[in-house]
Amino acid sequence: MLTSLYVEGQSWFHRVPVRLKLIALPVLSVALFTTDAPLLLLPAFLLCGALYLSLGMTARDAFSRVGFVLFTILVLAAVNLFLVPLPQVAALVLRLTTLVLFAAAVTATTTIGAFMDEITILLKPLERLGLLWAADVSLALGLVLRFVPDIFARYQAISEAHRARGLPIRPMTIIGPLIILTLKDADTIAAAIDARGFRRQ
Amino acid sequence: MNTRDLVLIALFAAIVVVLGLIPPITLGFIPVPITAQSMGVMLAGCIIGAKRGAFSFLLFILLVAIGLPVLSGGRGGLAVFAGPSGGFILGWSVAAFVTGLIAERFVHPGNSEARQFVGFFLASVIGGIVALYAIGVPWLSAVTGTPLMTAATGSLVFIPGDLLKAAIATLAARAVYAGYPLLPARA
């Protein structure tokens, strides 16, 4: 049900260390926002576009991943046409599209495990301050992945119950029971976690 | 934070993921379908309170960032933060926190039913609309170069739909509050 956006592959960008890619993303965004020159933005756009398309996705998959964001960029560009000079609008479209393509390329070449490793390292300073446990973040993430199918099945059961009684399926009558039924399990799950000593308490 | 709080945070993030999977609600008098997920911020603040609601959305944002397609319509990945509406997604956590603060302050078990409705509605509007737009709109303006006033007036189009979401979230939050109250037990 929850398949990651990672794309299996052996392209050179897959082999770039994850940390380097995650550092490159904010660096690139700062760099792109400091310039309006089409002579710099256009090559950056073409490079990131080529990079994104070289990752081994079908054209359809590649488009569906970024289509919605690109659509919002174009809508805002259309609005901007009436408000700001044309060269600036062109710079905006190139800059944001470049960033979106690069970000999508990072997402497509990084597994969830690799992301989590980096996040654990990022959280280390907070852990030292005693603010939170990096292990708790992984545990919470695991719980979400574990319970999404259960909660979805519960949603379907509630919809079925509506249908069986000839009731229209309305958010008001579904969200309430769905949340109560789900959160009621919290005590049992918490007890199970503590009983296994996952949090060393 | 005890284990139960951690579990509530994770379960609510999972509920928000599921709200993104269910078909959007179409209402006769509004042309744009409403995604149940966009009510998640209001629901989180009103149901599990400020701190847990905010953590729940931080966890949800983390799911988006590490490349899980958990946003409604199967979107996800770092690209959504690079787009113009990235500020709205990052702002969810703050919005849930503000919603929770107001709900914790105004809704108490001894209140009349009407007062609880008013409290949840105020919390949803101030947290889920005012606070969210206060982050998302300047962000959008800064990223796209659209003048702030234009971006703000343009966003007014979405306000009627958002008020409707606040109303639905109020009804749902009050139903949960009556059936299984979690709000008073602070994290």
> Taking CB atoms and an 8 Å cut-off, how many pairs form between chains A and B?
201
Better-predicted residue by pLDDT, B122 or A130: B122
Q: Which range has the worst mean pLDDT, A87-101, A127-141, B54-68, B163-177? A: A127-141
Nearest chain B Cα distance for residue A39, angstroms: 19
Measure the CA–CA gap between B42 and B166, rounded to whole angstroms: 7
pLDDT at B29 exceeding the cut of 90: no
> Which residue on chain B is closest to A195 by alpha carbon?
B3
Would you state the pLDDT for residue B115? 93
Taking contacts as CB-CB distances below 8 angstroms, the residues of chain A near B73 are 68
Residue A94, chain B, CB below 8 Å: the answer is no
Would you state the pLDDT for residue A182? 93
Contact call for A5 and B65, based on CB within 8 A: no
Residue A96, chain B, CB below 8 Å: the answer is yes
Q: At B27, is the secondary structure helix, strand, or coil?
A: strand
Contact call for A83 and B180, based on CB within 8 A: no
Residue A127, chain B, CB below 8 Å: the answer is no
pLDDT at B184 exceeding the cut of 70: no
Would you state the pLDDT for residue B161? 86
Would you state the pLDDT for residue A4? 85
Backbone angles phi, psi at B29, to 5 degrees: -95, 0
First to last CA, chain A: 33
Nearest Cβ partner for A144 among B4, B13, B75: B13
Helices (H), chain A: 12-15, 18-33, 38-53, 59-80, 86-108, 112-128, 134-164, 171-183, 186-195
Residue B137: which pLDDT band, with cuts at 50, 70 and 90?
very high
Measure the CA–CA gap between A170 and A156, rounded to whole angstroms: 13
Residue A30, chain B, CB below 8 Å: the answer is no
Taking contacts as CB-CB distances below 8 angstroms, the residues of chain B near A155 are 18, 21-22
Would you state the pLDDT for residue B187? 46
Stated pTM of the model? 0.91
Give me the DSSP letters along A41-93. Answer: HHHHHHHHHHHHHTTS--HHHHHHHHHHHHHHHHHHHHHHTTTS-HHHHHHHH
Mean pLDDT (whole number) for B117-132: 95
Q: What is the mean pLDDT of chain B?
A: 89
Residue B182: which pLDDT band, with cuts at 50, 70 and 90?
confident
Nearest chain B Cα distance for residue A36, angstroms: 12
Q: At A197, is the secondary structure helix, strand, or coil?
A: coil
Contact call for A100 and B82, based on CB within 8 A: yes
Would you state the pLDDT for residue A108? 93
Would you give per-residue pLDDT tens digits along chain A (201 residues)?
678 889 888 888 999 999 999 999 999 988 988 888 888 999 999 999 999 999 988 889 899 889 888 998 998 888 888 888 888 899 989 999 999 999 999 999 999 889 988 998 988 888 888 878 888 898 999 999 999 999 999 999 999 999 999 998 887 788 999 999 999 989 899 999 999 988 875
Decide: B43 and B127 in contact? Cβ < 8 Å.
Answer: no
Residue B27: which pLDDT band, with cuts at 50, 70 and 90?
low
Contact call for A5 and B9, based on CB within 8 A: no
Mean pLDDT (whole number) for B36-50: 92
Assembly ipTM: 0.89
Which of A98, A144, A181 has the most B C-beta neighbours within 10 Å, making it the best mutation to test the interface with B? A144
Residues B73-101 have pLDDT tens digits of: 888 889 899 888 899 999 999 999 999 99
Q: Is B42 left (phi over 0), alpha (psi -120 to 50) or beta?
A: alpha
Which of A84, A179, A199 has the most B C-beta neighbours within 10 Å, making it the best mutation to test the interface with B? A179
- C-alpha of A93 from chain center: 22
Mean pLDDT (whole number) for B155-162: 88
Would you state the pLDDT for residue B28? 60
Residues whose CB falls within 8 Å of the CB of residue B23, separated by 6 or more in sequence, listed in order: none
> Which residue on chain B is closest to A154 by alpha carbon?
B18
Give me the DSSP letters along chain B. Answer: --HHHHHHHHHHHHHHHHHHHSPPEEETTEEEEEPGGGGHHHHHHHHH-HHHHHHHHHHHHHHHHTT---BTTTB-STHHHHSTTHHHHHHHHHHHHHHHHHHHHH--TTS-HHHHHHHHHHHHHIIIIIIHHHHHHHHHHHHH---HHHHHHHHGGGHHHHHHHHHHHHHHHHHHHHHS--SSS--
Contact call for A104 and B179, based on CB within 8 A: no
Better-predicted residue by pLDDT, A122 or B31: A122
pLDDT at B10 exceeding the cut of 70: yes
Contact call for B14 and A143, based on CB within 8 A: yes
Nearest chain B Cα distance for residue A194, angstroms: 7
Mean pLDDT (whole number) for B143-154: 88
Measure the CA–CA gap between A6 and A22, rounded to whole angstroms: 15
